[in-house]
A and B are shown apart, each in its own frame.
Chain A
Amino acid sequence: MTRLRKARDRLRKNGTGITLVFIIPYTVLFVVFRIGPAVAGLLLGFSNYQITGVVSWAGLANFRSLFTDPLFWNALRVTVIYTVIAVPLTVVVSLGMAQLCARSIRGIKVYRALYFLPVITSLVTSSVIWQWIYSYNGPANWFFGAIGLGAVPWLSSNAMVLPSLSLMSVWTRFGFDMLILLAGLLAIPKEYTEAAMIDGASAWARFTRVTLPQLKPALFFVVILEVIQSFQVFDIIYVMTGGGPGQSSYSLVYLIYDQGFRYFDFGYASAAGVVLFAITLVVSLWQRRVFREDAR
C-alpha cells in the first residue's frame, strides 16, 4: 500500500502521470493499427494466405519468386526513378515557395492558404484534373503549341510519364512541405541574417551559409516525408495511367495492389510490402545519418 502511494506521489511530483495519460491512448492505437498490421504483413510475406482464413507456411518461397520476377525489378526501378525525380523537385519548389511566403507582403496569408489548397484536395480529383491538363488536346499542349513547341506526349511516352507524374505530385505536395519549411524559416532569428548582411554577405551567401544550415531539421523532416510518400506512390498512377504506357509507371505499391486485390496472392503482395518497408527504412536511416554528420 505504502509502495503504491509512493509510486503515485512520484508520478504526481515529476509530471510523469499526466504525460502517460496523454501518451498511452495514442500509443495503444499506434500499436494496434500501425505496428500490429505491419508485423502481420511481415508474417504474411512468409505464408500463403487465402481470404477464407487458410494460412500455410511458405518460408522464403514468396521472396524467391519476387526476386526472380522481372515485374518486381521493373516496379522497383520505376519507384526509384520516380523518387529521384519527385523528391528534389518537390523540396526545391517547397523551399522556394516558403522563402516567398516568409516575406511580409500584403495578403500573404491569402497566398499561403491558396498554396495549401492542393494538399486538401482529394488525390483522385487532382489526378482527374491533371489527366485533362495532360491530355493530347488539353491546356498543357495548347500552351506548348501556342509557343511553337508542339504537343508533348505527357502520359503516352515511356520517357515522359514519370516526370509528368512527378510534376503533378509537386503540385499536390508542395503546400504541406512549404508550411513546415516556412515555420522553420520564421524560427530563424533575424539577427543572424542581419549580421551576415552587415558583414557584406550576398543574398545567395546568406541563404546558403545562414538560412539552409538553420533549416536543416525542417529540411530533414520534409525530405524523409517526401521519400516515404514517393516510395508509396499509387493513387495518381491508378487514376492517371494504370501503370502504363507499357509498364513505365508500374510502381511497387501498384504491384502490391495488383498481386493482392486483383490476383488474390496476398503472401506475394506482402513479401513485396516487406521489401518496400526494408528499402524505406534503410533510406530513412541513411538520410538520418547524413543529416546528423553534416550537423556536427
Chain B
Amino acid sequence: MRIRTAATLLAAGVVTLTAACGAVNVGGSGSTVGAVPANPAKVSGTVTMWIYPIDPTREQADWAPRVAAFERKYPHVKVNVVVQPWANRDEQLQTAIAGGKAPDVVYMIPDQIPGYASNGSLADVSSLVASDKSDFRPDALKALSYGGKLYGVPLLTQVTTLLANKKAMKAAGISRAPKTWGDLLADAPKLKRAGYYATEYDADPTQTLNETFYPLLWQAGGQVLTPDGTKAAFDSAAGVAALTFLTKLVNGGYVPRDSLTTPPQPDTDPIEQGKVGFVMAGDVAALIPTKAMPLSGWAVYPPLSAGSAGSAGPGAKPVSYGTVGGLSILSGSKDKTAAAAWVNWVTSTGQMKSYDKSHHYFPARSSAGTLFPRSTLEGKEERLLPDMTIGSIGLKSRQLMGVISPHIQAALLGQATPRQALSAAASAADNLLSRG
C-alpha cells in the first residue's frame, strides 16, 4: 500500500513538473526577430507589453494615447500595456515564462539581459536596429547585448551623478560642491556640525554595487574584473582606496549607521528627510520629492573623482554609473512581427523623445538631441551622459555582487580592513568565476 502511495505521489510530481515545464522549449538558444514589413496593413496580431512604473505618477495614463496612435497606424495589431509593480519583477516574469504566460514585450535593464538571454527567454532583436544602428548611443546598444547579439532596443538612458542638498550646503557654509573624495571628507565635519550627514552609503547586501561601490572604484581608475572577465580586479590599489575612503566616512560618523545594514525604507530614508548633504550616485528621476526635501532643494554636479582635497589623484576620473532601459521581445511570443512593429514604433526618434522627456530620462538616439534646458536639474544631468559607464555586464554580474557586498559591508562595520575585505571578496569572486 505504501509503495503504491509513493508511486502515485511520484507520478503526480512528474505530471506537475511536466506541466511546470510548459510547452515552450526553445532549446535555450532563444530565437530571432525578423524585419518588420514596410506595409503596416500586413502586420497583425496581439501584443502584450509589461512595463513598470518608471514614473509612478503617469505610467498608466501615458501609454493609452501611444497605443491608440500605434493602432491607428497598424490597424490589425492590438496592444495591451500592463504596468507591473517593480517589486518582485523577476520572480513574476520568470514564473510567467515558465508557465507559458509571458508577455510579448518586456522592459529590461542591462543586468537582467544576460540571465534571460542565456536561458533562451529573449529573442535577438538585432534586425530592428540594423537600418539605423549608428543613431543609437554605442554604450546603450552594448548594455543590452549579450554574446554578440542585441536583446533589447534602447528606450531611455539614465546617469547617476553627485546630487547636493542646497539647504545643507548653506547651513554648513559650503559654497562649492566637492569635486574629489578629499573635498567631501573636508566638507563632512562641517555638515556634521550643522546636523547633516555628509552622504548615505547603502551597504546592505541587497543593494546593487553599480550605484554604491563600483562608481568609487571607477573614479579611482579601477575595474571590477580583468579585461578577459575571468578574474577579480577590484582588489587593486584603486579598490582599496575606494573602500578606505568609505571607511573614513563611516568612522567619522558622516553616514547614517542604519544605512550600512538595513535596506532603506520609504519615509524613513534620511535622503528623503533632507538629512543628507550629498548623494554620491543619485539621479533626479529616482528622487522622491517630500515635504522636507522637494526637488527644488537639490542641485546636480559632476560625479566625484578620487583624490585629495582640491586635486584629483593619478588615473582618477569623474565617472559614474549610467543605465539603459530597453524593450525586449520574448522568445515565446506568438506574434513576434507585431511585437517588433510595436517596439520599433515606441523606440522611434519621435516617440522616444516624448516618452523620455515626460519621464525625466534621456534619449538613446543621437537624432533625438538633448531634451532638457541646461538650467534644469535634468538638463545638467543630461550633459553628464558622456561621463557615464554601464560597468561590467556578464552572466554572473549579479552573483558577483552577491559575493562582494558582504565583504564591503564587513569592512565598513570594522570587522576587516579594506585590504582584507577586498582580498577575501576577490577570492570568493574568483571561485565563482572559475565555476564556469
Residues of A within 8 A of B (CB): 31-32, 35-40, 42-44, 49-55, 65, 128, 131-132, 134-136, 155-158, 238-247, 250, 258, 261-264
Contacts and interface: CB of A to CB of B under 8 A. Distances in A.
Nearest to B14: A43
Given A36-B12, A156-B257, A131 B97 contact: no
A156 B415 CA distance: 11
A262 B407 CA distance: 19
Given A243-B206, A244-B205, 20 more contacts: A36-B15, A36-B16, A38-B13, A39-B16, A43-B13, A43-B14, A43-B17, A50-B28, A54-B119, A55-B21, A132-B268, A136-B256, A155-B258, A155-B261, A242-B204, A246-B407, A246-B415, A261-B90, A262-B90, A263-B399
Contacts of B358: none
B261 A244 contact: yes
27 contacts: A35-B12, A40-B13, A42-B13, A52-B24, A52-B28, A52-B98, A52-B120, A53-B22, A53-B23, A53-B98, A54-B27, A54-B28, A55-B17, A128-B265, A132-B265, A135-B258, A135-B268, A155-B262, A238-B206, A244-B203, A244-B405, A245-B410, A246-B413, A262-B402, A263-B398, A263-B402, A264-B118
A264 B261 contact: no
Residue from B205, B207, B407 with most neighbouring chain A CB atoms (10 Å):
B205
A52 B25 contact: yes
Nearest to B90: A261
Contacts of B331: 52
Nearest to B22: A53
Contacts, number: 144
Interface centre among A31, A37, A238, A245 (most CB of B within 10 A): A245
Chain B interface size range: 35 or more
Contacts of B379: none
B262 A246 contact: no
Contact of B263 (A50, A239, A264): A239
A52 B413 CA distance: 41
Interface string B66-92: 000000000000000000000000110
Contacts of A263: 115, 398-399, 402
A243 B13 contact: no
B20 A40 contact: yes
B332 interface: yes
B41 interface: no
Contacts of A43: 13-14, 17
A243 B399 CA distance: 14
B251 interface: no
B16 A258 contact: no
Contacts of A42: 13
B121 interface: yes
A31 B12 contact: yes
A263 B111 CA distance: 11
Contacts of A247: 205, 406
Contacts of B121: 51-52
Given A243-B205, A246-B410, A51 B15 contact: no
Interface string B225-241: 00000000000000000
A228 to B, nearest CB: 20
B292 interface: no
B350 to A, nearest CB: 35
A40 B17 contact: yes
B261 A156 contact: yes
A43 B265 CA distance: 38
Contact of B119 (A35, A51, A65): A51
B91 to A, nearest CB: 5
Contacts of B413: 156-157, 245-246
B205 A35 contact: no
Contacts of A50: 28, 119-120
B26 interface: yes
Given A53-B24, A240-B262, A39 B204 contact: no
A131 B258 CA distance: 9
A264 B115 contact: yes
Given A244-B409, A245-B409, A262-B90, A35 B9 contact: yes
Nearest to B100: A53
B262 A53 contact: no
B348 interface: no
A263 B402 CA distance: 10
A51 B94 contact: yes
Contacts of A55: 17, 21
Given A40-B20, A51-B119, A135-B258, A246 B409 contact: yes
